[in-house]
A = this chain, B = another copy of it.
Amino acid sequence: MAANDAPPVDLLALTARLVDVRSESHAEQELTDLLEDELARHAPWLALDRVGCNLVARTTLGRDQRLVVAGHTDTVPINGNLPSRQEGDVLWGCGTSDMKSGLAVMLALASALPDPAVDVTWVFYEAEEVDARFNGLKRLFDERPDLLEGDVALLGEPTDGVIEAGCQGTMRVRIVLRGARAHTARPWMGRNAIHRVGGLLGDLDRYQERRPVIDGCEYREAVQAVRIEGGVAGNVVPDEVVLLVNHRFAPDRTPAQAEAHLRELCAPWVEDGDVVEVADVADGAAPSLDHPLLAALVARNELTVRAKLGWTDVARFAAHGIPAANFGPGDATLAHTADERVGREPIERTYLALADLLRTGAPTS
């Protein structure tokens, strides 16, 4: 590898190259092909395995410890923000922050380090931004768990170059309120299901979220309507409205506790015949900062540590017994916005911290 204080490649330019290969969820093939081709050419020491649009590249050095570094290749739908646009040391565009700058760090490090102090498994996976049943990391854990074996994992989700510990859980609940059809000229013959949902939406608008502190990290919960649909015809009182609500819950609550909380929230507005059902759920993950590799990464680079509010696949590693944390160059607050962007500095800082960890490993205690 090159000098300790500068990355060997222009990481912002590499990010731009990855961003400009459009890869919305379910359309990651072109980008995955590019990554596979790059690694095959520039890191021939890596064992490559591909499962669908999931690519796993591993060193096989027989080290005592194995670090897994994983990042998703997909983005949310573009929002008038492709191709990318660079001004000075800032790059704008869909996926700059979430998380192609992280992929750029992974690709550059994988190609630069033939002989790290710990074995490394680089995981590039598909479909993280959509329903969990499509998640590439889930598929790998289901079909090829051997490829994901390791002692600790880092996920390149946007954290602005700090360690974000654990993650909140996420649950989507489908709420169906019923009514009765009638002609809109005689609405008292029926009951308007769309009108019925007003009270619940008002409660969601006024919702006061919990902010529990766990291992020194403050989490912050959320309850957000993410989809609403209803209507029969322009002259018919609608007999059904469907509301999808996304709940983010801190890792001190189980999915069952989170569901109970949501049901309590909906209860004043729900009647017999209505539906409140969990559409999908993913557990959170407690912080795992006591693991030696994570502790070394934090201590040697004096990294800031804070709670991860979004759900990330660290929870999937945690569920398989692998302590994990989020560590990536992007800015999560800009992810999924039209103004998504990333700066050169956090990308290089992330690169250098990871390079240092891979070169030195954890202190033997």
A interface residues (Cβ-Cβ under 8 A, vs B):
76-77, 79, 129-131, 168, 170, 172, 181-187, 189-190, 192, 194-205, 222, 224-238, 241, 243-244, 246, 248, 309-311, 332-333, 335-338
Contact = CB atoms under 8 A, between A and B. Distances in A.
A338 B239 CA distance: 12
8 contacts: A76-B236, A77-B233, A130-B233, A181-B336, A189-B333, A201-B201, A226-B236, A234-B246
A182 B331 CA distance: 12
A258 to B, nearest CB: 14
A238 B227 contact: yes
Nearest to A236: B336
A233 B74 CA distance: 14
A170 B200 CA distance: 29
A192 B168 contact: no
Contacts of A310: 183, 185-186
Which among A190, A196, A233 has the highest number of chain B CB atoms within 10 Å?
A233
Given A170-B184, A184-B226, 4 more contacts: A170-B235, A198-B199, A224-B237, A228-B231
Contact of A185 (B168, B229, B232): B168
A283 to B, nearest CB: 15
Contacts of A184: 170, 222, 224, 226, 246, 248
Nearest to A158: B183
B194 A228 contact: yes
Nearest to A333: B189
Given A198-B201, A235-B129, A181 B228 contact: no
Nearest to A248: B185
A240 B205 CA distance: 15
Contacts of A232: 226
Given A198-B202, A310-B186, A231 B236 contact: no
Contacts of A192: 204-205, 224-225
